Amino acid sequence: MSALPTGQKFWSPIEAVWQWCREWANAGSASELRCCAEEEVSRMAQDAGVSVTEFRRLVKESPESADLLLQRMASLDLDRGEVSRIEPQTFRDLQRVCTMCESRGRCARDLKRDSADPVWEDYCPNADTLMALNKLPWAARREY
């Protein structure tokens, strides 16, 4: 089975993993990789660029679990497309960390209440990376 459905939009590696798992589960296989040999799970994790432990955890999450990252990037005026094109590994790491973050509820509330409030920098595991990206001269901003 292909990780990327033919004719579909571009998928990040994490989105591709989720899509593959949804297709796999919908095909009647047992849930959550229980039917796969450990070597196969290891290969899939390696293909996705994460550890087996992270892979197993990511599979349990929904594709929307990194949407807060996209909202935070928008509040910082960081263009998702430009960042993912110029810094693909950094973007994948941001998605992975956001997906596995334990403060997603707080983040969602803070984004909804006041996305400009810097309180998120105190608990967000992506804060340093996002702030570093925010200091770069991005073409999409047309400010440089």
Q: Where are the domains of the chain?
A: 13-60, 65-138
Q: Quickly tell me which residue has 């297709």 as its tokens.
A: 23
Burial 92-107 (b: 16+ CB within 10 A, else e): bebbbbbbbbebbeeb
DSSP state at residue 32:
T
Q: Are 103 and 109 in contact (CB under 8 A)?
A: no
Give the model's confidence band at 1: pLDDT under 50 very low, under 70 low, under 90 confident, else very high: very low
Can you give the pTM of this predicted structure?
A: 0.67
CA pair distance 6, 33, nearest whole angstrom = 23
- State yes or no: pLDDT of 138 exceeds 50: yes
* Cα dist from 141 to 38, 89, 136, 138, whole Å: 45, 21, 10, 6
108 or 56, higher pLDDT: 108
- Structure-block tokens of residue 66: 């990194």
- State yes or no: pLDDT of 5 exceeds 50: no
19 or 41, higher pLDDT: 41
Average pLDDT over residues 122-127: 97
